[in-house]
Chain A
Amino acid sequence: MTKAGAILRFLACGSVDDGKSTLIGHLLHLTGNLYDDQVAILEQESARLGTNGAGIDYSLLLDGLTAEREQGITIDVAYRYFATPQRHFIVADTPGHERYTRNMATAASRCSAALILVDARQGVLPQTRRHALICALMGIRRFLFVVNKMDMAGWSEQGFREVQAQCNRLAGDLERFGLPRAECVAVPVSALNGDNLVALSPNMPWYDGTTVMGWLHAVAPGEGMEHAAPRLPVQYVIKVARPGGAWQEGADGAFRRGGNGTFRAYAGTVVSGSLKRGDRVVVLPSGLRTRVREMWCGDRLVRQAVAGMAVALSLEGEHDVVRGDMIVAEDQRTELAHLFKVRLVWMDDQPLYSGRHYLFKGVAGTATAGITRIRGRIEPDSYQRLAADHFSLNDIGEAELALSLPIPFDPYAENRETGGFILTDRLSNATVACGMILHPLRRTATVRRQCEEIGPPERAAIKGQRPCVLWLTGFSGAGKSTIANCLERKLYTLGRHTMLLDGDNIRQGLNRDLGFTEAGRIENIRRIGEVAKLMTDAGLIVITAFISPFRAERDMVREILPGGSFVEIHVDTPLEECERRDPKGLYRKARQGEIPNFTGIDSPYEPPRAPALRLGTMARPVWECADAIIAYLREHGLLPE
């Protein structure tokens, strides 16, 4: 049904003040899609604000938030709905400001065509190129460059031709960058006066191409998802366990064939391709092979479901299929992978560094995701790839991603539904990025782990102990190393096999190459975490004494260790006290500006929210702190009583 009568979703984007809202408002009016009372209110507001002299300011129709009207800018996407005798349209009016790029990406992710506005007097601006890039990365292949404000550019053909040439260059640059060729057309308009919106304008007799509405009517809707490989991510499992009863009488006989009286169907949308009754399918990730037995669309049995249809299907045989599983055609299987090269649009105020962990969510489920490597940033107006070690807000770039479990996927270029994902922050719950899978990486397939005849349990058993990591965190000078040394001595006396990791043996050896920038600190902790993991695998009780100021990194270490073996201990000495003690004279130097990025002075410390143990060190001798840790270990079965 994506062909006849389908809805065209498109967005209007481009630099701020290029007239997006005006264009859409005027299109709605000219196609008879505004009601009289809406026009009346619009006229009143326009007159009151006087933003367009005596005329109507159409942007007031779309900038629906108070803050937007006060500041005269678009902050978030506005959706408008209109129809002509030929077609239904959903248009997204997007913010032009770079700050609100994520809102623009929100709109682009669901659109199949883009109107890119360009001010005829200014030509293509960096923000125009940024928006075109985001649209193209999001998979939009149909662009109409709307060269606006021709009325203020003297209706000049030459002016238009120059801007058109810039637009063509932009399209060529996108192709050189490696994106598929887009369909590009340019049209000269005055959004304010309505020229070339629905009818060719007498003001520009030299132009005989398409009008904006003409293009919107002609352009193909959708992405041709019905021709892609069949995919159905399971959203919900419908279970009805009521043998007999009125519900069955009206229902099809098929419900009654559900074996022991439980009817079970897997509800989800066919996101691409089509599925028929009797098709051979594979359920991923389990790899189960079966056939489609019955398929319903609502309360109707259907023989076939094409892309876009929300169906429920039953499978032959009794299976355990759950939400997040993906049903695919047996002859067009997708791959399973957990290492990917991806493109990201970074949407968080906090920058991305490699080593950071987030939650990955796609149509085929969720997983923990680590950024293993940043491959580089894409310069949004030149489309050049540049070296980078982090992404800041609104940066676009390429990176490598490692998931905690393999997921079924398709490259984004082949399937917008199964190749796109979001990353969210596990603490703030914010959406920090949207991403597109380029291709899987096959490192783990070639580097097979050696078959381990002796495993961690055996190594721990011979030492007669339970390995764990006692992770001491706190400000510099809090007493971490002192307590750690005392603790190790006590454990040694108890006949425990231990290892102490601290600045002295790590920073001067393994991590000699790392600095104290945020990126350096993250990598420092990542390596320490990996070393600690190896040592617990070896059966040791590991004590670490590092400031480790960021929650995300401590959580990362927690995640790579077996459950319950990471013991977070907050050595909670107030900053003033640490600065007063200043055993190495570091605070004094930091205050004088000799040491940059010093925790507590010009770099933040994020205290643990729920540490296993919080040790106050004020008026408490070191040995008492060490005893408190030992008592904790005994209570939690990590040390024998």
Chain B
Amino acid sequence: MKPNGALHQLEQESIRIIREAVAEAERPVMLYSVGKDSSVMLHLALKAFYPMNPPFPLLHVDTTWKFREMIAFRDATAARLGMELIAYTNQEGLREGVTPFTHGSRAYTDVMKTDALRMALDAGGFDMILGGARRDEEKSRAKERVFSFRDARHHWNPRGQRPELWSVPNLARNRGESFRVFPLSDWTELDVWRYIAREAIPVVPLYFAARRPVVERAGQWIMVDDGRMPLSPGETPRMKVVRFRTLGCYPLSAAVESRAATVRGIVRELECARSSERAGRLIDFDQAGSMEKKKQEGYF
């Protein structure tokens, strides 16, 4: 295999997408979720506009249930790059006490992630929203355009997507309408890690195997990141060497047992992996077609 040839091609195509989106935007923004894909996307944006700082702010939808290490990494990254960071929390949901434990993952995701994202985008009046989603993550994502139109309510219409020809996207829109732009559409999980290795891109340490306090729930390892995690009677956190393949809110992201403590180790692990990345994402299993539904309503 000559992964560098393919990686180079993916990198160059993504930079073209980022430049096109920003050039046609009135108010661009990058949805920065602090994960590995966001880290790669941000790195590509730095290259796209070098030596200028990318001409847009970073937006993080903070559910208040992110791993503490993620928040620390986020703030350090924005400060290091001198980029504006907008951290948005749905205050109404917070006041009503919506948590993944009290309201279930579905309602919690609707309120603290999807609603919050819509509110944050409306508040900023953003019309071109860069996101790190990849088509290989999930079946309905595999169907989505690179430049994906959203109506004024942020809804996606999977049956009526605009044709997308060559590298000439139709970005015409009326006030209030917007585009979600996915520069990493054609990347796979393995591509992302190989690129992180090649470019030495900093990522949240949670991706690397370490001893962490976990409890077993429904056959999956959930990390006890802070004192807010309700434990059942008799349930005590155990220390296990685990890492995260995908990062979201800590009660909804399962850890995997792994010894991969370096980027190279992760690449080697993935080259012979037998299960997919989203197997650790609890919210995707709520119901069949659940991602499509969430996306239609405005989820990334």
From B6, B141, B170, B276, contact of A88 by CB (8 A): B6
CB distance from B197 to the nearest CB of A (A): 16
Cα distance, A247 to B49, chains bound together (Å): 13
Chain B residues near A65: list those with CB within 8 A: 140, 143, 158-159, 289, 292
Interface residues of B in 240-289 (CB under 8 A from A): 273-276, 279, 288-289
A5 touches B5 (CB 8 A): yes
- Chain B neighbourhood of A184, CB < 8 A: none
Is the CB–CB distance between A359 and B135 below 8 Å?
Answer: no
Which one of A81, A86, A267, A359 contacts B19 once the chains associate, using CB atoms below 8 Å? Answer: A267
Bound together, the chains give a CA A347 to CA B273 distance in angstroms of 42
Contacts A1-B9, A86-B1, A308-B9; is A431 near B166 (CB within 8 Å)? Answer: no
* Interface status of A77 (Cβ within 8 A of chain B): yes
Out of B49, B162, B167, B275, which one reaches A430, CB within 8 Å?
A: B162
Cross-chain pairs A/B with CB under 8 angstroms, 25 sampled? A1-B8, A5-B6, A35-B275, A62-B142, A63-B139, A64-B139, A64-B143, A65-B159, A65-B289, A65-B292, A66-B288, A75-B158, A76-B143, A109-B166, A235-B16, A235-B20, A236-B19, A267-B48, A310-B15, A310-B48, A359-B172, A361-B168, A417-B166, A420-B165, A429-B173
Tell me if B23 counts as interface (CB < 8 A to partner A): yes
Contact check, A434 vs B52: say whether CB atoms are below 8 A apart.
no
Residues on the B chain within 8 Å of A110, using CB: 166-167
Shortest beta-carbon distance, A298 to chain B, in Å? 3
- In the assembled complex, B110 has its CB within 8 A of some CB on chain A: no
By secondary structure, the A interface counts as mixed
Residue from B5, B13, B47, B159 in contact with A298 in the complex, judged by beta carbons closer than 8 Å: B47
Closest to A2 in B: B9
Beyond A78-B142, A269-B12, whether A90 also contacts B165 by CB under 8 A is no
Whether B165 contacts A106 by the Cβ 8 Å rule is yes
Q: Give chain B residues whose Cβ lies under 8 Å from the Cβ of A361.
A: 168, 170
Cβ contacts under 8 Å, B5 to chain A = 1, 3-6
Docked CA distance A363–B166 (Å): 9
A504 at the interface (CB under 8 A from B): no
Known contacts A77-B143, A90-B186, A105-B163; decide if A83 and B172 are in contact (CB<8 Å).
Answer: no
Per-residue 0/1 for B176-206: is the Cβ within 8 Å of any A Cβ (1 yes, 0 no)?
Answer: 0000000001101010000000000000000
Contacting residues, chain A, for B142 (C-beta < 8 A) = 62, 64, 78-80
Bound form: Cα–Cα A477–B14 in Å: 58
Q: How far is the CA of A80 from the CA of B15 in the complex (A)?
A: 21
Contact status B10-A7, CB under 8 Å: yes
Find out whether the CB atom of B49 lies under 8 angstroms from the CB atom of A238.
Answer: yes
Give bound CA distance, A80 to B135, whole Å. Answer: 8
Q: Is the CB of A431 within 8 A of B163?
A: yes
Q: Determine whether A67 belongs to the interface, using a CB cutoff of 8 Å to chain B.
A: yes
Which chain A positions have C-beta within 8 A of B190? 83
- Find out whether the CB atom of A76 lies under 8 angstroms from the CB atom of B161: yes
- Per the bound structure, the CA–CA distance linking A265 and B163 in Å amounts to 32
Report B-chain residues with C-beta under 8 Å of the C-beta of A152.
Answer: none
A609 at the interface (CB under 8 A from B): no
Complex contact A36–B186 (CB within 8 A):
no
The answer to whether A267 touches B168, judged by C-beta atoms less than 8 angstroms apart, is no
**Known contacts A6-B6, A83-B190; can you find 12 more A-B pairs with CB under 8 A?**
A35-B279, A69-B289, A76-B158, A90-B186, A105-B163, A106-B165, A235-B23, A247-B51, A267-B49, A298-B47, A309-B12, A422-B163
Known: A5-B1, A65-B159. A429 touches B136 (CB 8 A): no
Residues of A within 8 A of B236 (CB): none
List, in ascending order, chain A residues with CB within 8 A of B51's CB: 238, 240, 247, 251, 255, 263, 299
Q: How far is the CA of A204 from the CA of B115 in the complex (A)?
A: 57
| Beta-carbon nearest neighbor of B141 in chain A | A64
Whether B102 sits at the interface, judged by CB under 8 Å, is no
The verdict on B232 contacting chain A, using a C-beta distance below 8 Å, is: no
Nearest residue, chain B, Cβ from A68: B143
B174: which A residues are within 8 A, CB to CB? 429
Chain B proximity of A16: nearest CB distance (Å): 17
Q: Does A37 contact B (CB under 8 A)?
A: yes
Question: Complex Cα distance A5/B198, Å?
Answer: 16
> CB-CB < 8 A to B4: which residues of A?
5
Q: Closest CB of chain A to B275's CB: distance in Å?
A: 5
Asked if residues A310 and B16 are in contact (CB atoms below 8 Å), the reply is yes
B194–chain A nearest beta-carbon distance, Å: 11
Q: Is A496 an interface residue (CB 8 A)?
A: no
Q: Which of A7, A35, A88, A434 has the most CB of B within 10 A?
A: A88
Interface presence of B22 (CB below 8 A) = yes
Contact of B289 among A38, A66, A79 (CB under 8 A): A66
A6 B23 Cβ-Cβ under 8 A? no
- A347 to chain B: which residues have CB within 8 Å? 163
Any B CB within 8 A of the CB of A621: no
The list of the 6 closest CB pairs from A to B, nearest first, reads A5-B5, A5-B2, A64-B139, A298-B47, A429-B172, A310-B15
For residue A102, CB closer than 8 A to chain B, the reply is: yes
Whether the Cβ atoms of A235 and B47 lie closer than 8 Å is no
Q: Is A114 an interface residue (CB 8 A)?
A: no
| CB-based contact B167/A434 at 8 Å | no
The residue among B8, B190, B273 with the most chain A CB atoms within 10 A of its own CB is: B8
Q: Which of A126-159 contact B (CB under 8 A)?
A: none
Q: Which of B1, B136, B164 has the most chain A CB atoms closer than 10 A to its own CB?
A: B164
Q: How far is the CA of A416 from the CA of B188 in the complex (A)?
A: 26
The CA-CA distance from A247 to B288 in the complex, in Å, is 50
In the complex, the answer to whether B50 meets A424 with C-beta atoms within 8 Å is: no
B3 at interface (Cβ–Cβ under 8 A)?
A: yes
Instruction: Kindly report which residue of chain B lies nearest to residue A76, judged by CB atoms.
Output: B143
Give Cα distance in the complex from A388 to B167, angstroms: 30
User: What residues on B are CB-neighbors of A309 within 8 Å?
Assistant: 12
Q: Across the interface, do A81 and B188 meet the contact criterion of CB distance under 8 Å?
A: yes
A424 CA / B168 CA spacing, docked (Å): 12
B275 touches A61 (CB 8 A): no
Residues from 604 to 640 in A contacting B, C-beta threshold 8 Å: none
The minimal Cβ–Cβ distance linking A410 to chain B, given in whole angstroms, is 13
Partner of A416, one of B50, B139, B166: B166
Q: A4-B5, A296-B50 are in contact. Are A62 and B170 (CB under 8 A)?
A: no
Q: How far is the CB of A58 from chain B (nearest CB, A)?
A: 12
Q: Judging by beta carbons under 8 Å apart, are B159 and A85 in contact?
A: no
Q: How far is the CB of B5 from chain A (nearest CB, A)?
A: 2
Question: B10's closest neighbor in chain A, by CB?
Answer: A7
Quick one: given A81-B186, A235-B19, A255-B51, are A420 and B6 in contact (CB under 8 Å)? no
Tell me which residues across on chain A come within 8 A of B136, comparing CB atoms: 80-81
Chain B 62-97: CB-based contact to A (< 8 A → 1; otherwise 0): 000000000000000000000000000000000000
Which has the most chain A C-beta neighbours within 10 Å: B3, B51, B136, B165?
A: B165
Cβ 8 A contact of A417, one of B2, B139, B167, B188 = B167
| Pairwise interchain contact B164-A6, C-beta atoms closer than 8 A | no
**Once bound together, how far apart are the Cα atoms of A271 and B5, in whole Å?**
17
- The CA-CA distance from A308 to B6 in the complex, in Å, is 12
CA distance A299 to B43 in the complex (A): 11
Residue-by-residue, is A257-268 near B (CB-CB < 8 Å gives 1, otherwise 0)? 000000100011
In the complex, residue of chain B having the shortest beta-carbon distance to the beta carbon of A309? B12
Asked if A362 is at the interface (CB within 8 A of a chain B CB), the reply is yes
Q: Is A471 an interface residue (CB 8 A)?
A: no
Residues of A within 8 A of B173 (CB): 429
What residues of chain A lie closer than 8 Å to B164, measured between beta carbons?
A: 106
A312 to B190 CA separation, bound complex (whole angstroms): 28
Residues of A within 8 A of B168 (CB): 361-363, 420-422
Interface residues of A in 585-606 (CB under 8 A from B): none
